[in-house]
Amino acid sequence: MRGTAAQVEQGRIKLRALRLQLSHDAETLEMQLSHQRDMFAMKADLMRDLIKALIEHRVDAVCKACEETLKMYAEQSRHYMAQQDRYADAEIKATEPLERANLRVRLNETDLQLTNIRSDGGTLQREMARVILLLGGTMPTLSNDDQRALLG
């Protein structure tokens, strides 16, 4: 009986050791699972933040490009407005009919170019406003000088 009692005790010790090992394994797995959940949540937050940043930078880039393009249109418009003034002054000062006719032609061409620039600038501004609003941004404001140059 002694042998069996010792075997039973050894069985109990092995069973306790297995239970402890199983409990330890379960705790380890729970910690690993918890760690993996935390890592997944951090990665998901990072991806959300990256996507948000990309969208915001894209909106900023579109806004900046639109603003710079409209400024170029305004600068071209101011250039043609200055040419209009020069041709108008020269036409007033001209004494010969042929010279006046040539200046009138140049003035008309300048008027046409200025009208086209303002039309294209207005179209660009409307279309870019739509794009920017769709992306979730706000349309950049132009300086008063640029607005006057584009609107006439």
Single pTM value for the model: 0.63
pLDDT range class, residue 72, cuts 50, 70, 90: very high
Residue type present at position 8: V
CATH code linked to domain 2-151: 1.10.287
User: Could you identify the residue written with the tokens 């007033």?
Assistant: 92
- Closest alpha carbon to 71 in 23, 111, 135, 117: 117
Residue type present at position 25: D
Asked if 77 and 121 touch (Cβ cutoff 8 Å), the reply is yes
Cα–Cα distance for residue pair 18/148, rounded to 1 Å: 85
- pLDDT at residue 2, rounded to an integer: 62
Asked if 65 and 132 touch (Cβ cutoff 8 Å), the reply is no
Asked if 73 and 120 touch (Cβ cutoff 8 Å), the reply is yes
Cα–Cα distance for residue pair 62/95, rounded to 1 Å: 51
Answer yes or no: is pLDDT of 1 > 60: no
- pLDDT at residue 39, rounded to an integer: 87
